[in-house]
């Protein structure tokens, strides 16, 4: 039944009435965010830097859409293309490459538990870095690796707060290196790009628990890098890389 107080139903209490996860996503992102076959979602975004809409399909990105392409996407995803300001904000690949030296993406774990950050360089060596930060709540590393983040729904201010925290994250103790089975799980979930010479990269990384005020409690931090099978992944280098990246991301976002 519709409550007598329509303000509660239509505004502050609206999300509580969307029990279905897909319905909540459609409401929050203002479009039909259909899953792709290889993982991820179809999503039309708006770049806050160049002020252009762009299309994301899983890990594939398509910036600088033509009017015809935009009209087709609007029809397919049920978007009012005359209200692009309502689209979720995200750096397009072109602006991300110009300002961050690679393609940066952020997704959100369910129930506002944290974020997954991915950065892919555009250099010939094609470096890939992954950061997963999620509230503990009994969370094991196996579970974190297998969790499916969704398109970001939080405000960019919340994302920047976590990036600012990651930028100054102290050297952890104790830490856990990824065992082989978790590296393989990451390889399947986020397949690293192979280089032009045919060499195959695999994820290697570390995890630890630490308090994170922006997320309201203890979190599990997991940092990983895609490397050739025989290469090492020094934790110090990973921490420094993410500290530099987090600072640059906050500046642009």
**pLDDT single digits (tens) 162-185:** 999 999 988 887 888 988 888 888
pLDDT at 154: 66
Q: In what order do the strands lie in the sheet with 102-109?
A: 150-151, 102-109, 114-121, 128-135, 217-227, 202-212, 176-177
pLDDT band at 32 (very low <50, low <70, confident <90, very high): confident
Condensed to tens digits (0 to 9), the pLDDT of residues 99-152 reads 999 999 999 998 889 999 999 988 777 789 999 999 988 778 888 888 888 887
Rounded mean pLDDT, 229-239: 84
pLDDT at 31: 85
Rounded mean pLDDT, 34-56: 87
pLDDT at 196: 56
pLDDT at 21: 63
Take residue 102 and report the two structure tokens written for it: 């690679």
Nearest to 244 by CA among 189, 186, 167, 174: 167
Rounded mean pLDDT, 57-77: 92
| φ, ψ dihedrals at 42, nearest 5° | -80, 130
The average confidence (pLDDT) of the chain is 84
- CA 139 to CA 144: how far, in whole Å? 7
Rounded mean pLDDT, 214-242: 89
Condensed to tens digits (0 to 9), the pLDDT of residues 183-219 reads 888 888 888 876 656 678 889 999 999 999 999 999 9
- pLDDT beyond 50 at 9: no
pLDDT at 1: 45
pLDDT at 41: 86
For residue 164, count CB atoms less than 10 angstroms from its CB and return exposed for 0-12, middle for 13-18, buried for 19 or more.
Answer: middle
Rounded mean pLDDT, 235-240: 90
Rounded mean pLDDT, 31-55: 87
The rounded percent of the chain whose pLDDT value lies above 70 is 87
pLDDT at 198: 64
* Cα torsion through 60, 114, 145, 24, rounded to 10: -60
- pLDDT beyond 80 at 11: no
Rounded mean pLDDT, 219-228: 91
The more confidently predicted of residues 70 and 59 is 70
pLDDT at 197: 60
The rounded percent of the chain whose pLDDT value lies above 90 is 43
pLDDT at 12: 42
pLDDT at 75: 93
């Amino acid at each position: 039944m519709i409550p007598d107080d329509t303000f509660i139903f239509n505004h502050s209490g609206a999300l509580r009435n969307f029990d279905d996860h897909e319905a909540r996503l459609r409401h929050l992102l203002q479009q039909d965010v259909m899953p792709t076959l290889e993982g991820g979602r179809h999503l039309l975004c708006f770049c806050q830097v160049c002020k252009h809409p762009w299309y994301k399909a899983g890990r594939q990105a398509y910036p600088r859409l033509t009017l015809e392409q935009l009209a087709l996407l609007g029809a397919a995803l049920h978007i009012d293309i005359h209200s692009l300001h309502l689209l979720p904000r995200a750096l397009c690949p072109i602006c991300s490459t110009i300002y961050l030296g690679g393609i940066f993406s952020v997704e959100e774990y369910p129930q506002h538990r944290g974020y997954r950050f991915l950065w892919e360089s555009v250099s010939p060596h094609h470096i890939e870095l992954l950061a997963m930060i999620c509230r503990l709540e009994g969370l094991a590393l196996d579970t974190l690796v297998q969790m499916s983040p969704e398109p970001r729904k939080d405000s960019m201010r919340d994302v920047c707060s976590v990036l600012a925290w990651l930028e100054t994250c102290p050297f952890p103790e104790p830490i856990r290196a990824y065992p082989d089975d978790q590296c393989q799980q990451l390889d399947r979930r986020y397949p690293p790009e192979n280089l032009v010479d045919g060499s195959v990269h695999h994820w290697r990384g570390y995890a630890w628990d630490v308090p994170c005020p922006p997320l309201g409690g203890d979190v599990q931090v997991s940092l990983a890098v895609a490397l050739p099978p025989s290469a090492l992944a020094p934790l110090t280098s990973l921490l420094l890389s993410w500290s530099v990246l987090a600072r640059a991301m906050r500046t642009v976002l």
